[in-house]
Amino acid sequence: MNSIYESLSYGWRSRRAWWFTATARTRARFARTALGGFWLGLSNLFSIAALSLVYGTVFQVQDFTQYVVFLGTGLVVWNTLSAAIGSAPSLFEANASHLKNTNLHPIFYTLEEWAFQVQTFFQSFLMVLLGLTFFKHDLFLNLLLFSWIPLVNVVLFLYWVPLAVCILGARFRDLYQLVPIVLQLGFLLSPILYDKKNLGRFAWTADLNPIYRILSPLRQALQDGQVNLHQSLVVLIFNLLGLLLALWLLARDRKNLPFFV
């Protein structure tokens, strides 16, 4: 516990530094572009429009307006979580020179990556919601009134799962190949493009999908203006336990990370 507290304390003290470097990455990403960060939201809106037309036709949805909101809110959350997890295995390798030649605590690099993903998420998420208000006018109202706990769960999950993956990825290079495969299969098997009931007797598989269990409450809160408080609190407890586990793994492997990368 002392090591976990030390990691959290260092992360808090260095918060201005890792937030600044993450912001610099976000700005550099769209340097010399006219729309800048708006491209994040636009790319998601283009994907939502195309997938809604195709799969709305394939699944013969009865209420196309509701389907666009259903697909859009789920897709924007999935894209963020899958991007964070997919890039996690190589995080420490990308910072190998710093790990070997500086005394910065490794948590700095994980928090910088988390801040970058959070900034990316909110830029894209808010613009997608703005676009989807054309189909459902109370999305922002539902966001303010019902989405707080599900949104906190998304942000926590966005940190501790990539943290655990990048620690394991430093030890086991097989994750470089395994993680993209798992994410691709997870997307196809998750009720993102289709409703959970369409899985029929295999609907139980969605409940075993951790990413779906994170995005589903947020999507329900936005779309229906409802939140299952009990379920959201259980997921919050699960996230906090996962965070402690990931920080424990970081504390355990901290001294060996320079040798792994």
Structural tokens at position 32: 């010399």
In degrees and rounded to multiples of 5, residue 91 shows phi and psi of -60, -50
Residue 137 maps to a domain: yes
The whole-angstrom separation of Cα 216 and Cα 153 is 11
- Other Cβ atoms less than 10 A from the Cβ of 112: the count is 22
Residue 148 maps to a domain: yes
The confidence band for 117, taking pLDDT boundaries of 50, 70 and 90, is very high
Q: Which of 34, 38, 56 is nearest to 128 (CA)?
A: 38
Residue 29 maps to a domain: no
For residue 3, pLDDT beyond 90: no
> CA distances (Å), 71 to each of 111, 223, 238, in order?
30, 10, 26
Sign of CA dihedral 198, 204, 208, 214: positive
Structural tokens at position 44: 């998601």
Please write the tens of the pLDDT for every residue from 128-145. 898 889 888 888 998 998
pLDDT of residue 42: 81
Residue 28 maps to a domain: no
pLDDT of residue 98: 83
Q: What range defines the domain where residue 152 resides?
A: 2-22+37-260
Residue 27 maps to a domain: no
Residue 194 maps to a domain: yes
Residue 231 maps to a domain: yes
- Other Cβ atoms less than 10 A from the Cβ of 149: the count is 19
Q: The pTM is what? A: 0.89
Number of domains in the chain: 1
